[in-house]
Chain A
């Protein structure tokens, strides 16, 4: 117990003894890995604060989960969050913490006592480094999550092509959540604009598997239930091959190769249903 205590005290002594010099070395080491992408002043401020908090916390123990380390953890969280947002790599983020070890790196003349202190610091820094990386990963996941949400919002425009014809140009991979949004938006637009014809253009969809086809079929059937006709257009040769190879039956759903063909078809359908519209669209 006493040896333990002494080791702890020695570590604090070592760190606080030459504080200015050590922090300077630390900042220099870290700024080297960041290659000037963060201003020296900003980095210095960050690390100085962290160093002071670390030394203060060490005075009461070495358990990084303890209450005494809460400020250190808060500073590290902030640091890794900022790094994640600014686009630094996990290595660059973690190096900021791991560089602390080099400050007390022992040489052949180092006293036994100091080596023990160094090893203790090592263990602590490793734990803090992992904590930093974990926070970094968590932040990145949050960013990805919010981006996916934004993508969902802007990826589904429903455009009006003609009186009574609306189209949804789908871009990107379709999954259940996106199809749900597309379906709701398309059906709502049908009601709002009173359109009889809907075109789903899948030129921008990279791949169609059974699940995506299922989603498309559901949308078409739902539109049909509401009294609108739905055409699927923009089927590329490879996709047609995949669909047939997978054995997906589109049944009596009209499919066209291009959006232009689909529009022509929709206008013709409008015409047969209502001669007045046909006369108008012919003009």
Chain B
């Protein structure tokens, strides 16, 4: 049994902090858990913190993108925070630009982005 990544709720936002390197199965579990929690809590924002993540392969990269897309379908803006330079370079080399996923340098900035996200979304629409 692979360990589950906790999904924490802070006010209107769900926080997913990934602390270990991801296995394929745990990413798939995370996707299911997160979708269920968004519906359950009616959260309007999701922050995925990958500060501790040192290794990302193409599968995990793609799953992060689909997770963000799923959250958006459920009306929760997703922000990916704390990506390490090495991880960013790897993803670019893999040809994954995670289009449509919002990113921020740190958890704090990610939360600030979500707090001020509504006007931006209004702009886009």
Contact = CB atoms under 8 A, between A and B. Distances in A.
Contacts of B84: 191, 226
Nearest to B103: A227
A191 B91 CA distance: 17
Interface in B26-54: none
Interface string B103-116: 11110011011001
B97 interface: yes
Interface string B80-101: 1101111111011100011000
A161 B88 CA distance: 23
A187 B105 contact: no
Q: Assign chain B's interface to a size class.
A: 20 to 34
Contact of A225 (B92, B110, B113): B92
A222 B86 CA distance: 9
Given A191-B85, A218-B92, A226 B112 contact: no
Contacts of B112: 273-274
A187 B110 contact: no
A225 B116 contact: no
Chain B CB within 10 A, most for which of A183, A188, A222: A222
B116 A227 contact: no
Interface in A203-253: 218, 221-228
B63 to A, nearest CB: 15
A225 B109 contact: no
Interface string B52-87: 000000000000000000000000000111011111
A184 interface: yes
Contacts of A190: 85, 105
Interface in A160-206: 183-184, 187-188, 190-191, 194-196
23 contacts: A183-B85, A184-B86, A184-B89, A187-B85, A187-B89, A188-B85, A191-B85, A191-B105, A194-B109, A195-B105, A218-B92, A222-B85, A222-B92, A225-B80, A225-B88, A225-B91, A226-B84, A226-B85, A226-B88, A227-B104, A227-B110, A273-B113, A273-B116
Given A184-B85, A223-B88, A224-B97, 12 more contacts: A183-B85, A184-B86, A187-B85, A190-B85, A194-B105, A218-B92, A222-B88, A225-B83, A225-B87, A226-B88, A273-B112, A274-B116
Interface of A: 183-184, 187-188, 190-191, 194-196, 218, 221-228, 273-274
Interface of B: 79-81, 83-89, 91-93, 97-98, 102-106, 109-110, 112-113, 116
